[in-house]
Amino acid sequence: MEVILHLPTTKEGMEALQDRLAETHAQIIIDKINALDWPYESKIKLFENVKAELKRQAEEEERGES
């Protein structure tokens, strides 16, 4: 199977793509958490933990750590 991918050619286009990908990933996480058969409070705690971990990883990447 051959796949042809056309990426944006401008900085603005690439930023828009990155924003859209982030929105899609966030929605997937939200949907997966909502699908859990857990009490609402547990889902909120899990979401907050995921959010904190993603923020920590982003800060590491900004500092050049891995």
pLDDT tens track for 9-65? 999 999 999 999 999 999 999 999 999 999 999 999 999 999 999 999 999 999 987
Q: What is the 3-state secondary structure (H, E, C) of the chain?
A: CCCCCCCCCCHHHHHHHHHHHHHHHHHHHHHHHHHCCCCHHHHHHHHHHHHHHHHHHHHHHHHCCC
Residue pair 5/17 in contact by the 8 Å Cβ criterion: no
CB 14 within 8 A of CB 8: yes
Instruction: Answer whether residue 66 shows pLDDT above 70.
Output: no
Amino acid 48: pLDDT: 97
**What pLDDT sits at residue 54?**
92
Distance, in Å, from the CA atom of 27 to the CA atom of 21, rounded to the nearest integer, reads 10
